[in-house]
Amino acid sequence: MQRAHQYALSGYLIAMADDELILGHRDSEWTGHAPILEEDIAFANLALDEIGHAKLWYELAADLLGEDQTIYPDRLVYFRDATQFRNLQMVELPKGDWALSTLRQYLFDSLEALRLEVLKHSRYTPLAEIAARIRTEELYHLRHSRAWVLRLGLGTEESHSRMQAALDALWPYAQQLAERLPGERDLHAAGIVPSSAALFDRWHIDAVEFLTKAGLQVNFQQFLAPSRREHTEHLPALLADLQSVARLDPEATW
C-alpha cells in the first residue's frame, strides 16, 4: 500500500473506531438501568462488541502507522481530548430514554451494515477480513435493534410517541452519516473504502421505508451536518468519565 494511503486509511479507521468506542460507552450506561433484565444483558453485550470492534480498528490503524498495537489504542482512547476525537455527534448524545437508545442503535447499525458489506471487498485485505468478522457479529445487533424499533413504534400510544420523539431528535444528526470520512476521497478511488455519500443514499431509502413500516413519520429537516472535528458539549463530559482512571495514573498497568 502507498504511504499516502496508509496515512489516510489510518485516519479513516480511527474515525470508525471512535464511533464504535463512544457508542459502546453510551450502550454500557444501560448496564444496571435497562427496563428489563434481558435488555440489561443485551446492551452490555452491545457495548462489549462495539468497544471490541473499536479495538480492532485502532489496532489496524496502529499497524499502518508503524505504532505498537498493544499501546497505541489505549493512548488514543485515554489520552486524547474531545477536539481530537472524530466520532459522529449522534453517538455522543446522552443515552436518553429507552426509545432514543434503541433508535440510535438502529440508525447506526443499519448504516454500518452497508459500510461493512462494501469493506468486506476492500482491496486492502486486512481491512476486508476484519470487516467480514465484524459484519457477521453485527447481524445480531441489527436484528435486535430492528425488533425494538418495530415493537415500540407499533406498540402502545406511549411507546409510539416516545419513538417518534426519538426519531425527530435523532434524524437531523443522522444526516452526518453522509459526510465523507477522513481521507475517503483517495481511498475510495483506490478501491479501499466505499463512498459515504453513496452509502448514505442507499441507507436513506431503506431507513425511511423501515421506519414507515414501524409506524413512524420521518420529518425531513434542513440540517447543516458538522464536520467530525466538531462535537457537542456532551463529549467532554463522557470522556471525563471514560478517561478518569487512566489519567489518575498514566503509568499504571493492569
Partner 1 sequence: MMQVSVRTSEDEIWAALAELPDPEMPVVNLVELGIVRAAAWHGETLAVTITPTFAACPAYEVIGSSIRQRLQAAGVAQVEVRVQHSPAWTTEWMTAAARSKLQAAGLAPPPRHEGNLIQVLMEPVACPRCGSHNTTLQNNFGTTPCRMIYTCVDCKEPFEMFKPL
In the complex, the residues that contact partner 1 under the rule CB under 8 A are 38, 41-42, 44-46, 48-49, 51-53, 55-56, 125-126, 129-130, 132-134, 136-137, 139-141, 143-144, 147
87/145 Cα distance (integer angstroms): 21
Nearer to partner 1, 70 or 217 (CB): 70
Nearer to partner 1, 38 or 157 (CB): 38
Please choose, from the candidates 23, 38, 178, the residue with its C-alpha nearest in 3D space to the C-alpha of residue 103: 23
CB of 135 to partner 1, least distance (A): 9
> Residues 82, 85, 89, 95: is their CA dihedral positive or negative?
negative
Nearer to partner 1, 60 or 174 (CB): 60
**Cβ-defined contacts of 193-197 (< 8 Å, 24+):** 193/9, 193/12, 193/118, 193/119, 193/122, 194/115, 194/118, 194/119, 196/115
Identify the residue whose cell numbers are 469493506: 119
Question: In the structure grid, which three cell numbers stand for residue 228, read together?
Answer: 467530525
- Report which secondary-structure segment, H or E, holds 144: helix 125-153
CB of 220 to partner 1, least distance (A): 31
Nearer to partner 1, 53 or 228 (CB): 53
CB of 141 to partner 1, least distance (A): 8
CB of 143 to partner 1, least distance (A): 6
89/228 Cα distance (integer angstroms): 8
14/23 Cα distance (integer angstroms): 14
CB of 59 to partner 1, least distance (A): 9
Nearer to partner 1, 132 or 208 (CB): 132
Nearer to partner 1, 57 or 85 (CB): 57
Q: Are 21 and 51 in contact (CB under 8 A)?
A: yes
CB of 200 to partner 1, least distance (A): 24
